[in-house]
Amino acid sequence: MTRVAARSKLTAAEYLAWEREQLDKHEFYAGEVFALAGGSPRHNFIAANVQRVLMGALEDRCFTFTSDQRVMFDDEARYVYPDTSVVCGKVMLQHGTKDVLVNPTILVEVLSSGTEQHDRGLKWKGYQRLASLTDYLLVSQREVRVEQFQRASDGWWLYRAYGRGDRVPLADGTQIDVDAMYEDAFEQPSD
């Protein structure tokens, strides 16, 4: 989130109506609208790999969504577009909408120089309040490194980092292969 779009001081309903008419995506935070920049080829390639790996590992138990899926949290104060969203169980949408997810189980952000601070900071702070969220993955595009925040049974978040040759254990017991997330990724241009 680096630049404010032409709209500000909107209600959540005004934002959703306006956003649905836009060609580009915008996130919403407390009345302010922020334009999203497109990702580098490496960013997008890694995001696609992550989605493929998650879909394969979770099979038909969960639903995996691309970065076009809008997610709401903080009681309509925040609307964001994670790089990957996963729902294990029934997909629940914000009341009165057909396109706003409210119960992600897993969220993934592929880090870039323009978004890393936000993905680790304000966005993560908000994600922690999602009762449905069990795993938050931060995926580097500069090196083979996946950072995981996983909700423990006592509600606290556990942090782990993984590299080449590792497997990331998700809260449901599924393990995903780090190397598969990065397959052919470093052949693509980065930010």
* Per-position pLDDT tens, the chain of length 191: 444 555 678 999 999 999 999 988 999 998 899 888 778 999 999 999 999 999 999 988 999 999 999 999 988 889 999 999 999 999 999 999 999 999 999 999 999 988 899 899 989 999 999 999 999 999 999 999 999 999 999 999 999 999 999 999 999 999 999 999 999 999 999 87
Tokens found for residue 168: 């990331």
Identify whether 45 is part of a domain.
yes
* Domain range for 84: 39-187
In sequence order, what are the residues at sequence separation of 6 or more whose Cβ sits closer than 8 angstroms to the Cβ of residue 136? 106, 107, 108, 109, 124, 127, 148, 149, 150, 157
Query: How many domains are contained in the chain?
Result: 1
Instruction: Kindly state the helix (H) or strand (E) to which residue 177 belongs, with its residue range.
Output: strand 175-177
Identify whether 23 is part of a domain.
no
Q: Where residue 159 sits, what CATH number does that domain have?
A: 3.90.1570.10
The DSSP bridge pattern shows strands 106-110 and 135-139 to be: parallel
